[in-house]
Structure 1
Amino acid sequence: MISPIALPRLMRIGGGAAGQVGDVVAGLGLSRPLLVTDSFLVGNGSAARLVDVLEKAGLTPRLFGETVPDPTSDSLEAGVAALTEHQADSVIGFGGGSPMDTAKALAIIGVHGGKMRDYKAPRNNTGPALPIIAIPTTAGSGSEATQFTVITDSVSDEKMLCPGLAFLPTAAIIDFELTVSMPPRLTADTGVDALTHAIEAYVSKKANPFADSLALTAIGTIGRFLRRAYTDGGDKQAREHMMLAATQAGIAFSNSSVALVHGMSRPIGAHFHVAHGLSNAMLFPAVTAFSVRAAESRYADCARALGVAGPADDDRSAADNLVGALAELCRDVAVPTPKAYGIDKGRWDELIPLMAGQALASGSPNNNPLVPTDAEIRDLYAQIYG
């Protein structure tokens, strides 16, 4: 089997790496980056510090700080205008998954125009696009190393998966010091998101040895350090390990795939405005329990990597241990059910048929070890509500 592998051209990894963004951009022969971020990072001064670094490197940056959580096709319009006015030759995504997703979308629309729905799966977007430099401030999405972006269609509320090499960052700067201020809820949601990426990459029907090695390493690291980072945000060792694991998990699923959890998660985010990592966490134990018998040995490997099974445990027992361990982890980091989150049951039940259809249409469930029917997806949505 030949596995197509794609990675950022450059990566700078370590505490303080964000201070080298000017050298990275200049080294790529670029001079007019659009720095894409959100109001929080503008408000706390982080964006201004990055602009200063860029200017000291002799570059001409422009700040766009208007990204929104779970970006929509409408929210891109102001970014496209800023990109055009600045005559930007590159985009820098600075923040969590939403600023990076926005930057990726702007990189292709800035060259080709059109609407974001023109780029959604199953279309494979190979470019050309503006170079993307990604600087994550959360340890979860892995977007700094993936060939995907996710944008919600403002008309249909569909959370669109847009794939292809056009969305793969040219450079990624992974600086764990940017994550130290993350609050516990965000730490938990992004950490479980990274674990979902790693496990789904490993059990996916598109798994390959390159992605496998990174996925298993990330699973082990998250098992050791997520609870520590959640309990003590100032634990720099835990933060550093979680940041690296999130990037490793991102590389793994970018070169393998995600599966049913992600297929079902996107509609929850679109219709109920639940953060992506949290909606993954709501689904993760139940979907794993549904899928586990179809790839027992693969899930058993994940259990051993996570540290909840040993070499002497048979695959069935180890896989069952994984299901239990995921439920326990979600309890330990206080993942709410949709009911506890405040979602109205009547509205939830009403949207289950639409969400099931959107999950299947995304294509991600086809990568799952056990490919579900529409009825089975509806049942899983019903199971997790309360």
Structure 2
Amino acid sequence: MSSPEVHRLLAEAAARGAAPALEAGFGAAGLLDPRALTAAGPVLLVASERAVRNIPLAADLLAAGASHYGRTHPNPTTDDVIALSALIEQFRPRTIVAIGGGSTIDLAKAARLLCPDRLSIDAGLRGDTSSMRADPPEVIAVPTLAGTGAEVTPFATLYRNRRKVSLDAPAVRPERAVLDGSLVLSAPPEHSVPALLDALCHAVEAGWSRARTPESKRAAVVAREALVAHLSAPLAVRDVHQAQELLSATTLAGTAIAVSRTTAAHAFSYHLTAEYGIPHGFACAMSMSWVEKHLADRRPGICSPKVRAAAEAIRRVLARAEVDGLVESPRLSGGRLEAYIDAGLSTQTRLSGHPVRIDRDSARRFVMWDGFLTYPRGNAVASAHLLDSYA
């Protein structure tokens, strides 16, 4: 899946300020100098205990005198932001190094801007930048998963009272990002597969979003084709070169979605994560499966053969993941199905960029026709041909 175009577009995005300063390459994390960082001012490491044990950069930062916040977990809440923000208030770091998946990076991005009280959190989530820190620490994002794009996006996904909320402002974007393929090689499939699905959904949605620009559309198309090419081979087969290329492609998808923002597949996904604990990337894939079919029915010109191929790749990986026990369909029906549809339709900030209007009746019809959200084990049995083509 090698694509010089991926790297060229990433460099162009960084040059025009649409992405952080990027350091990319296998082993790039080793180029960061922990002693130089700590000599320039206090450093706070935001990373799980597992990351500290397994990633030399994390251990080296602590050895150089960095402070550590390790209470990270998927789908951070506004209470998590308050806890980390209070530590930032106490230590006043000059730099935050966030090492982990999208949740860890989003937590660091939000906490460095928002003050540790609910009024500041609420104001920030409403877009009131006056409530944010006037001189926040810089963030260096070091992703350990290929997929979320959090290392380049100007927004952070959080949860409050089991509902998704978003901090969205230019200052949310990290100042630097380190794309080191060696850090994604050891990610377990229960983390790496949904992250990859999230990235491919980003690429597809950014390509059809009404808010796309020529630059974001090009980035979305190139990222989409690179990711689909990667999915043409079994996911477990990944060498050093493939890992770096995959991370770069998913980051490029992040630069596209940072401009166009997500659309209906993401709008409908958040309820699945908040209500049933389905990992975000799997939730996006389950929603994308029927959303793409709905769009193809309403506006077939938008769903080109390559877009359809990307959607089929998403369904194939999702079906494989369900058979492998990585995720299970929520089996929506009755009131549970209606709650899912209502929650998605209420996310107007995301639906506003979708190319067609989705109403309650058509959503219900396409969800049930598609099957991934309603059948036991999703649509894996009904889609056995997808698994055969994947093997």
Range class of TM-score, shorter chain = 0.7 to 0.9
Identity of aligned residues (%): 22
**Alignment check: 8 A CA contact 1:111 1:130 kept:** no
Please report how far the alpha carbon of residue 381 of structure 1 lies from its aligned counterpart in structure 2 after TM superposition. Answer: 5.3
Cross-structure match for 1:271: 275
Q: 2:316 matched to 1:328?
A: yes
Q: 2:137 matched to 1:137?
A: no
Q: Take 2:128 and 2:358, find their aligned partners in 1: how far apart are those partners?
A: 24
Aligned to 2:47, the other structure's residue is in SS state strand
The 5 Å alignment of 1:1-386 reads 6-22=17-33, 26=37, 31-42=41-52, 44-46=53-55, 49-53=57-61, 60-110=65-115, 114-120=119-125, 123=127, 125=129, 128=134, 129-153=136-160, 156-228=161-233, 230-232=235-237, 234-300=238-304, 303-304=305-306, 323-331=311-319, 333-335=320-322, 341=328, 343=330, 345=332, 349-350=335-336, 352-353=338-339, 356-357=342-343, 359-379=345-365, 383=371, 384-386=373-375
Cross-structure match for 2:383: none
| Higher mean C-alpha deviation, range 372-381 or range 68-77 | 372-381
Q: Take 1:64 and 1:363, find their aligned partners in 2: how far apart are those partners?
A: 32
Aligned to 2:321, the other structure's residue is in SS state coil
Deviations 1:170-217 (A, max 9, x none): 111111100000123322211111110011001000111111111111
Q: Take 2:139 and 2:355, find their aligned partners in 1: how far apart are those partners?
A: 33
How much is the aligned-residue C-alpha RMSD, in angstroms?
Answer: 3.2
Q: How many residues align?
A: 355
Cross-structure match for 1:307: none
Please report how far the alpha carbon of residue 112 of structure 1 lies from its aligned counterpart in structure 2 after TM superposition. Answer: 8.7
Aligned to 1:290, the other structure's residue is in SS state helix
Change in Cα spacing, 1:138 to 1:359, as seen in structure 2 (3 Å) is farther
Please report how far the alpha carbon of residue 221 of structure 1 lies from its aligned counterpart in structure 2 after TM superposition. Answer: 1.0
Please report how far the alpha carbon of residue 323 of structure 1 lies from its aligned counterpart in structure 2 after TM superposition. Answer: 4.5
Q: Take 1:230 and 1:70, find their aligned partners in 2: how far apart are those partners?
A: 24
Please report how far the alpha carbon of residue 12 of structure 1 lies from its aligned counterpart in structure 2 after TM superposition. Answer: 0.2
**Alignment check: 8 A CA contact 2:261 2:353 kept:** yes
Please report how far the alpha carbon of residue 292 of structure 1 lies from its aligned counterpart in structure 2 after TM superposition. Answer: 2.2
Q: Structure 1 unaligned runs (5+)?
A: 305-318
**Alignment check: 8 A CA contact 1:110 1:130 kept:** no
**Alignment check: 8 A CA contact 2:44 2:95 kept:** yes
Cross-structure match for 2:3: none
Q: Take 2:231 and 2:203, find their aligned partners in 1: how far apart are those partners?
A: 14
Q: Take 2:163 and 2:139, find their aligned partners in 1: how far apart are those partners?
A: 25
Q: Take 1:267 and 1:338, find their aligned partners in 2: how far apart are those partners?
A: 21
Change in Cα spacing, 1:30 to 1:205, as seen in structure 2 (3 Å) is farther
If the length of structure 1 is used for normalisation, what is the TM-score? Answer: 0.81
Residue identity in the other structure for 1:350: R
**Alignment check: 8 A CA contact 2:26 2:180 kept:** yes
Please report how far the alpha carbon of residue 66 of structure 1 lies from its aligned counterpart in structure 2 after TM superposition. Answer: 0.5
**Alignment check: 8 A CA contact 1:202 1:298 kept:** no
Deviations 1:73-106 (A, max 9, x none): 1222331232122122232221001101110111
Q: Take 1:141 and 1:227, find their aligned partners in 2: how far apart are those partners?
A: 20
**Alignment check: 8 A CA contact 1:100 1:134 kept:** yes
Q: Take 1:38 and 1:84, find their aligned partners in 2: how far apart are those partners?
A: 20
**Alignment check: 8 A CA contact 2:198 2:281 kept:** yes
Q: Structure 2 unaligned runs (5+)?
A: 1-15, 376-391
Aligned to 1:99, the other structure's residue is in SS state helix
Q: Take 1:267 and 1:337, find their aligned partners in 2: how far apart are those partners?
A: 23
Please report how far the alpha carbon of residue 235 of structure 1 lies from its aligned counterpart in structure 2 after TM superposition. Answer: 2.0
| Higher mean C-alpha deviation, range 127-136 or range 175-184 | 127-136
**Alignment check: 8 A CA contact 2:45 2:61 kept:** no
- The runs of 4+ residues in structure 1 deviating greater than 6 Å are 336-340
**Alignment check: 8 A CA contact 1:339 1:345 kept:** no
Q: Take 2:323 and 2:279, find their aligned partners in 1: how far apart are those partners?
A: 12
